[in-house]
Amino acid sequence: MSLRNRVLIVDDYVPYAAVCQDLLRSECEVVGIAHDGLQLLDRAAAILPDLVILDLHMPRLDGIHAAKLLRTMMPSVKLIFVTASEWVDEEALCKETGACAVVFKARGHDLRAAVKLALGPSPDRPRMSAA
């Protein structure tokens, strides 16, 4: 059994979800991928992730509404939103759901940093102490 943090990626753009999975492979265990908000709710209930990375704009159920419903099922799950738009009001809506971060897709390197911050020290890495 793995002690790594379990992450569910949710994005309707399949190539981006695959890129996220590859990018995060060394940081955590990607336990599932969903492509809309309804799939998120089904998969999260089955796999119990520690962190959900979700797109803001998706078909059938958008990220904001999906996150609010997910919070009723799993109040302690950590959330990171990813989005192609950089509208300040959308970022504020994401933060209202209790999201740890909002990452703009054009800045993919920021996703790894946001995941590290959201999950804290990994059981696979020793904790660094200040000198």
Instruction: Report all structural domains of the chain as residue ranges with CATH numbers, in order of start.
Output: 6-119 (3.40.50.2300)
- 47 in Cβ contact with 32 (< 8 Å): yes
Phi and psi at residue 103, in whole multiples of 5°? Answer: -115, 130
This prediction has a pTM of: 0.86
Q: What is the pLDDT of residues 46-102, one digit of tens each?
A: 999 999 999 999 999 999 999 999 999 999 999 999 988 776 677 888 888 889 999
The rounded Cα 61 to chain-centroid distance in angstroms is 16
103 DSSP β-pair partners: 82
Closest listed residue to residue 63, CA positions, set 85, 37, 44? 37
